[in-house]
């Protein structure tokens, strides 16, 4: 089965399971690293419609559910490791929903090519509209750039 199909299958399973059990799929990837295949599933936890802490017990719960489904349907012919985790403090912003959810949060944008001599931009996320990401930097200056100029856009870890 192609990688895209596996990730789509996980997405379908997690949609119904998540609605019933308070979880939401953040993203899923099926990748080969150093000769080994990994099915990585990143999940958020919802309580009362609000996002909350995703514990290791929650990861184990989702992992058991997915393991049972994967064993029953056997959609992946090769050996692989299943990894279930939270998206993390420095989670990537990938979907329009992510950009809406984290509007006002501090983000880091890693660029493919330098912009004004910098390949890393940081600031408060103002939003995403028509493929343009807007942030406000530490000096209060608004910076807008096409999303496709960014190699990565992540939440910044602030201590």
Q: What domains are defined for the chain?
A: 3-85 (3.30.300.70), 96-155 (2.30.30.180)
pLDDT at 83: 98
Phi, psi for 109 (deg, rounded to 5): -120, 120
pTM: 0.85
* pLDDT, mean of residues 118-127: 96
Instruction: Give the list of residues 6+ apart from residue 3 with CB closer than 8 angstroms, or none.
Output: 30, 31
CA 134 to CA 92: how far, in whole Å? 16
Is a pLDDT exceeding 90 seen at residue 138? yes
């Amino acid at each position: 089965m192609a990688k895209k199909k596996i990730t789509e299958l996980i997405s379908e399973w997690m949609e119904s399971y998540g609605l019933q059990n308070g979880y939401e799929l953040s993203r899923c990837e099926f990748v080969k690293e150093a000769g080994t295949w990994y099915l990585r599933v990143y999940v958020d936890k919802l309580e009362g419609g609000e996002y909350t802490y995703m514990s290791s017990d929650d990861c184990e719960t989702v992992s058991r559910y997915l393991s049972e489904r994967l064993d029953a349907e056997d959609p992946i012919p090769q050996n692989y490791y299943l990894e279930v985790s939270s998206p993390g403090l420095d989670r990537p912003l990938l979907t329009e929903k992510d950009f809406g959810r984290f509007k006002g949060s501090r983000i880091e944008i890693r660029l493919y090519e330098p912009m004004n001599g910098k390949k890393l931009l940081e600031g408060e996320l103002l939003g995403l509209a028509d493929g343009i990401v807007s942030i406000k930097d530490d000096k209060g200056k608004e910076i807008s750039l096409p999303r496709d100029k960014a190699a990565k856009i992540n939440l910044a870890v602030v201590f």
